A and B are shown apart, each in its own frame.
Chain A
Amino acid sequence: MIPIPEKPDTFYFFGTCLIDLFYPEAGLAGMELLRRQGIRVVFPSGQSCCGQPARNCGFAEEARAVARQQVQSFPKPWPIVVPSGSCAGMMREHYPELFAGEADEAEARAFAGRVYELTWFLVHVCKIALSDRGEPVRVTFHGSCHSQREMGVREEPRALLRDLANVTFVDLQRPAECCGFGGTFSVRLPAVSGAMVADKVADIAATGAAEVLSGDCGCLLNISGAMAKSGTPGRARHIAEFLMERCYGK
Chain B
Amino acid sequence: MGSNLATSAATAPDFAARASIALADDGLRRKFRRAMDGLMTKRAAQFPDPEAWTSLRARGAAIRRRSLARLPQLLEQLETRCRANGIQVHWAETSADADRIIQGILTDHGVRTLIKGKSMVSEEIHLNDFLAEHSISAVESDLGEFVIQLAHETPSHIIMPCIHKSKEDVATLFRDHIPNQAYTDDVDALTATARRVLREQFAGADAGLSGVNFAIAETGTLCLVENEGNGRLSTTLPPLHVAVMGLEKVVERLEDVPPLLSLLTRSATGQAITTYVNFISSPRKEGEQDGPREVHLVLLDNGRTRIFGDPQLQETLACIRCGACMNHCPVYTRVGGHAYDAVYPGPIGKILTPQIDGLATAGDLPHASSLCGACGEVCPVAIPIPNLLVRLRGEAAHQNSASTVMGAGARHSSVEDWVWRGWRLMHQVPLFYRVATRVLTRIGNAMPASLPMLNAWTSVRTKPRFARRPLNELVRSRGFDHE
Interface residues of chain A, those whose CB is within 8 Å of chain B, are 13, 15, 17, 19-25, 27-28, 31-32, 35, 40-49, 51, 53-60, 62, 65-66, 68-69, 73, 97, 145-146, 149-150, 176-178, 180-198, 221-222, 225-226, 228-230
Cross-chain contact A69 with B373 (CB below 8 angstroms) = no
Min CB distance A185 to B, Å, is: 4
Would you call B453 an interface residue if the criterion is a C-beta within 8 Å of the partner chain's C-beta atoms? yes
Would you call B469 an interface residue if the criterion is a C-beta within 8 Å of the partner chain's C-beta atoms? yes
Selected from A58, A68, A181, A230, the residue in CB contact (under 8 A) with B393 is A58
Q: Measured between alpha carbons, how far is A221 from B369 in the docked complex, in Å?
A: 18
User: Is chain A's binding surface mostly helix, strand, loop or mixed?
Assistant: helix
User: Is chain B's binding surface mostly helix, strand, loop or mixed?
Assistant: helix
- Contacting residues, chain B, for A65 (C-beta < 8 A): 424, 428
Cross-chain contact B464 with A221 (CB below 8 angstroms) = yes
Interface size grouping (class) on chain B: 35 or more
Selected from A48, A150, A189, the residue in CB contact (under 8 A) with B373 is A150
Selected from B421, B458, B483, the residue in CB contact (under 8 A) with A42 is B483
Cross-chain contact B462 with A57 (CB below 8 angstroms) = no
* Contact bitstring B377-405, A, C-beta under 8 A = 1, else 0: 10000000001001111111110000000
Cross-chain contact B393 with A228 (CB below 8 angstroms) = no
Cross-chain contact B430 with A46 (CB below 8 angstroms) = yes
Selected from A20, A28, A58, A150, the residue in CB contact (under 8 A) with B397 is A58
Would you call B273 an interface residue if the criterion is a C-beta within 8 Å of the partner chain's C-beta atoms? no
- Contacting residues, chain B, for A21 (C-beta < 8 A): 437, 440-441, 444, 466-467, 470
Q: Which of B399-435 contact A (CB under 8 A)?
A: 416, 420-421, 423-424, 426-428, 430, 433-434
Cross-chain contact B481 with A42 (CB below 8 angstroms) = yes
Q: Measured between alpha carbons, how far is A181 from B331 in the docked complex, in Å?
A: 12
**Are A22 and B467 CB-contacts (below 8 A) given A58-B394, A149-B377?**
yes
- Contacting residues, chain A, for B423 (C-beta < 8 A): 53-54, 62, 66
Measured CB to CB, the nearest residue on chain B to A230 is: B460
Q: Which of B198-239 contact A (CB under 8 A)?
A: none
Would you call B98 an interface residue if the criterion is a C-beta within 8 Å of the partner chain's C-beta atoms? no
- Contacting residues, chain B, for A27 (C-beta < 8 A): 471, 474-475
Q: A146-B373, A191-B23 are in contact. List 11 more A-B contacts (CB 8 A).
A: A24-B471, A45-B472, A48-B428, A49-B427, A57-B416, A58-B396, A97-B387, A176-B374, A185-B369, A192-B16, A192-B23
Measured CB to CB, the nearest residue on chain A to B472 is: A20
